[in-house]
Chains A and B, each alone.
Chain A
Amino acid sequence: MPKTIIPFGPQHPVLPEPLHFSLTVEDEIVQEAIPGFGYVHRGLEKLCEIKDIHKMIQVVERVCGICSKIHALCYCEGIEQMMGVEVPPRAKYLRTIWSELHRMHSHLLWLGLFADSFGFESLFYHFWRIREKILDINEKTAGNRIIVSVNILGGVKRDLSTEDQKWILAELKEIENKLEEVKDTLFKDYTISKRTKGKGILSAEEALYLGAVGPVLRASGVAQDCRQLQYAAFSELDFEPVIAQEGDSFARMQVRYFELFQSIDLIRQALSKIPEGPISVKVKGYPEGENVFRVEQPRGEVFYYFKANGSKFLDRLRIRTPTFANVPALAKMLTGIELADVPVVILSIDPCISCTER
Chain B
Amino acid sequence: MEYKFPPFLTTVLTNLLKRKSTRPYPYQKRAPYPEVRGILKNQVEKCIFCGSCSLKCPANCIEINKQEGTWQYKPYLCILCGNCEAACPVKCLTHTTDFPLPCLEKKEILLKGTPPKRKQDKK
Taking Cβ atoms with an 8 Å cutoff, the residues of A that contact B are: 51, 54-55, 57-59, 120, 122-123, 126, 129, 139-144, 147, 149, 152, 157-158, 181-182, 184-185, 188-191
What is B's interface to A at a CB cutoff of 8 Å? 4, 6-8, 11-12, 15, 21, 33, 35-37, 56, 58-59, 79-83, 86, 95
Q: Is the CB of B58 within 8 A of A185?
A: no
Q: What's the Cα separation between A59 and B12 when bound, in Å?
A: 42
Q: Which of B8, B56, B81 contacts A122 (CB 8 A)?
A: B8
Would A189 and B79 count as touching, CB distance under 8 A?
Answer: no
The 4 closest A-B pairs by CB, nearest first: A58-B58, A55-B58, A184-B7, A143-B37
Known: A54-B56, A157-B82, A157-B86. A126 touches B35 (CB 8 A): no
- Asked if B7 and A185 make an inter-chain contact with CB atoms under 8 angstroms apart, the answer reads yes
Q: Are A126 and B11 in contact, with the CB atoms below 8 A? A: yes
* Contact residues of A: prevailing secondary structure: helix
Count of chain A to chain B residue pairs whose CB atoms are closer than 8 Å in the complex: 63
Q: How far is the CB of A182 from chain B (nearest CB, A)?
A: 8
Main secondary structure on chain B at its contact with chain A? loop
Instruction: Decide if B11 touches A190 in the complex (CB within 8 Å).
Output: no
Contact A190 B86 (CB under 8 A): no
Would A188 and B95 be within 8 Å (CB), given that A141-B35, A143-B36 are in contact? no
Take A59-B58, A140-B33, A140-B35 as given contacts and tell me if A123 and B4 are in contact as well, using a CB distance cutoff of 8 Å.
no
A347 to B82, CA, bound (A): 35
CB distance from A56 to the nearest CB of B (A): 8
User: Of the candidates B4, B8, B83, which one forms a contact with A185 in the assembled complex, judged by CB atoms under 8 Å apart?
Assistant: B8
Tell me, rounded to whole Å, the shortest Cβ–Cβ distance linking A46 to chain B.
Answer: 15
User: Can you give 20 contacting A-B residue pairs, CB < 8 Å?
Assistant: A54-B56, A55-B83, A57-B58, A58-B81, A122-B11, A122-B15, A123-B8, A126-B8, A126-B11, A139-B35, A139-B36, A140-B35, A142-B35, A143-B35, A143-B80, A181-B11, A182-B11, A185-B6, A185-B11, A190-B4
Of the candidates B8, B58, B79, B95, the one whose C-beta lies within 8 Å of that of A143 is B95
Please give, as numbers and ranges, the residues of chain A lying within 8 Å of B21 by CB-CB distance. 129
Residues in chain A near residue B6, CB distance under 8 A:
185, 189-191
A147 to B37, CA, bound (A): 11
Measured CA separation A181–B8 after assembly (Å)? 9
Look across to chain A and name the residue whose beta carbon is closest to the beta carbon of B57.
A55
A158 to chain B: which residues have CB within 8 Å? 35
- Tell me the smallest distance from the CB of A165 to a CB of chain B, in Å: 14
